Amino acid sequence: MSIRFAEVGDRIWVLRHPVLDVNVTLVLGDEAALLVDTLSTADQATDLAVAVRAITAYPWTIVNTHHHFDHCFGNATLAGDPDRPVYAHETTLALLRDHPDEVRRQAYEEMLASEPELAAELRRTPVLAPSHAVHREAALDLGGRPVTLRHLGRGHTEGDLVVRVPDADVLIAGDLVEESGPPAFADSYPLDWAGTLAELLRHTTAGTRVVPGHGAVVDRDFVRAQHDQLTALGWLIREGHCDHVPAERVAAQAPFGPESALVAVRRGYAELTDGT
């Protein structure tokens, strides 16, 4: 498949892959490149490498924004031979290192009904865990161009990582921000997500370009609107749990649509019940 990047800032390109509309971001410094996320399969990652090489011959470092297959299953192709450093939050690293078969099984089951061919590919895709763990923050130097990796809190997953390129005022948010569909709540922390986005907003300016995990590049106003929706959802979950309202009734009032919101409400209820 022929795929290509589009430049969104000074020496920053985004590739929107047609499968799942997932974004990969390429950042160039004076001596090195940074690749944020690696797509879903070995074939997709091979095509991605060709697209990168159409822009630069620099060696790349990789960042995984989180552990979901569409953001990291290309690691083995892009970082395995030759070995390249792969950064991720420590919980993402641990999941991919210690439970690769479980992560692969979940990916297969998630896609089996809607994308059976993709599911079959996922089942045989090798999972390569990141090599470098980030706790709260890490700084990278792409040869005179600083880049910052930050874990701002739980949201889409426990281990979301964002990438800030300060000299271009670009922030790569992974699935903490979604443009082409509602937020995905299957592994989420809906009671924490709004607070994490509030922290993300503190790292933006009026002119910041924010690269979501899926869909078109957005601005701070879009992120603020999603933050407000997640805040409203969080309060609905807390009030519904306190008043013993069935999750289905709460989801019917929630942002993002009842099917997506129901997953969030059930996770929020479980969190409040378990105290985690």
Domain 6-274 has CATH 3.60.15.10: yes
Domain coordinates in residue numbering, the chain: 6-274
Residue 259 burial by CB count (10 A; 0-12/13-18/19+): exposed, middle or buried?
exposed
Report residues of the chain scoring pLDDT below 50: none
Q: What is the pTM of this model?
A: 0.97
- Each residue's pLDDT tens digit, 156-204: 999 999 999 999 999 999 999 999 999 999 999 999 999 999 999 999 9
Q: Burial code of 54-64, b = ≥16 C-beta within 10 A, e = fewer? A: eeeebebbbbb
Interhelix angle 100-111/90-98, nearest 10 degrees: 90
Rounded-to-integer distance, Cα 27 and Cα 6, Å: 12
Q: Judging by DSSP bridges, how do beta strands 23-28 and 33-36 pair with one another?
A: antiparallel
Task: Please tell me the predicted confidence (pLDDT) of residue 275.
Answer: 76
For position 250, what pLDDT does the model report?
97
pLDDT (0 to 100) of residue 47: 97
